[in-house]
Amino acid sequence: MSWRSSLSPLLILLCGCSPGASPPVSGIPEPRSGYHFQSQDTQNLQDDDFANPGMLWVDGGMVLWTEAPETGKPACADCHHAADMSGVASRYPAYDKSLDTVLNLEARINHCRTERQGEPAYPWESEPLLSLTAYVAHQSRGVPVEVDISGPARPFFDAGETYFHERRGQMNLACVHCHEHYVGQMLRGDKLSQGQPVGYPIYRLEWQTLGSLQRRLRFCNTGVRAEPLAFGAQTWTNVELYLKWRATGLPGEAPAVRR
């Protein structure tokens, strides 16, 4: 047994930190979805489309997809074939040249909403945005993740990587501690996974609803008693890009089910 696996989670939280020491920068040699760290019951829920509550949002998203907006502008479905959405979520966040920034899937959808439909952006975590995101992400189920981190996307990726390795909060822990060093350990009833972003938006049993990746990440902030970053913060998109790169090759799972 290694010294690490013999530590209790409480001990890790209390004294698993030596302030100042920067953890090693490492990718994930063998990415594994959080699915494998869930109980059999939770996995069964995800596997069965009739039982998976997240599918309700996918169905709702399909309705919104075909609905013409009040501006009289085209519906999503008028400009896009649903089939063309296959694989899109697996390559987001992506760099957008005209905006000179990286957009995650929610921001991309909202961009079409404001620029192509003349409608106000959906608020973060609103039902319609979650539904459309679930609908689009569902079309990437089984499609391996592959994001572009080259060229102009690189600085955003680098910033995300830095955030992942920085200690924060009263517990003075970085993402890398829980999701690389302590993978497999129990923490407040959860088995720590690699923190892979492939199932989002997810239905989380504890929330009793669907939630975005940023909602999950904000919980990871408060988990170390740090002030959570705001929804839509640039840093979150950077972190999403870094997380998606770490997940390279893992198939999309949306809508996943988590504890």
Binding site for ligand HEC (CB under 6 A): 34, 37, 74, 76, 78-80, 88, 94, 108-109, 111-113, 116-117, 132, 136, 164, 173, 175, 177-179, 187, 190, 192-193, 195-197, 199, 202, 216-217, 220, 223-224, 239, 243, 258
For residue 198, give Cα distances in angstroms to 63, 141, 175.
24, 9, 17
Contact 244, 145 (CB under 8 A): yes
Q: Which is nearer to ligand HEC, 78 or 227 (CB)?
A: 78
Cβ proximity to ligand HEC: between 156 and 164 the closer is 164
Residue with smaller CB distance to ligand HEC, 17 or 56: 17
Query: Which of 126, 130, 143 has the alpha carbon at shortest distance from 198?
Result: 143
CA–CA separation, 252 and 246 (whole Å): 13
Q: For residues 51 and 99, which CB has a smaller minimum distance to ligand HEC in the complex?
A: 99
**66 vs 76: CA distance, rounded Å:** 6
- Closest separation between CB of residue 175 and ligand HEC, Å? 3
Nearest-approach distance from CB 10 to ligand HEC, in angstroms: 11
| CB closer to ligand HEC out of 193 and 237 | 193
Shortest distance, position 133 Cβ to ligand HEC, whole Å: 8
Told to judge if 220 belongs to the known catalytic residues of this protein, a careful annotator would answer yes
Using DSSP's 3-state secondary structure scheme, residue 84 falls into helix
Residue 2 CB, nearest approach to ligand HEC (Å): 19
Distance CA 139, CA 136 (A): 5
Q: Which two tokens stand for residue 226?
A: 């740090």
E-only strand ranges, the chain: 94-96, 101-103, 186-187, 190-191, 202-204, 209-211, 257-258
Residue nearest to ligand HEC (CB): 34
Minimal distance, residue 93 CB to ligand HEC, in Å? 10
Q: Which residue's structure tokens are 């290694």?
A: 2
Q: Are 195 and 249 in contact (CB under 8 A)?
A: no
DSSP-based three-state secondary structure for 173: strand
Q: Could you give the residue numbers annotated as active site? A: 220
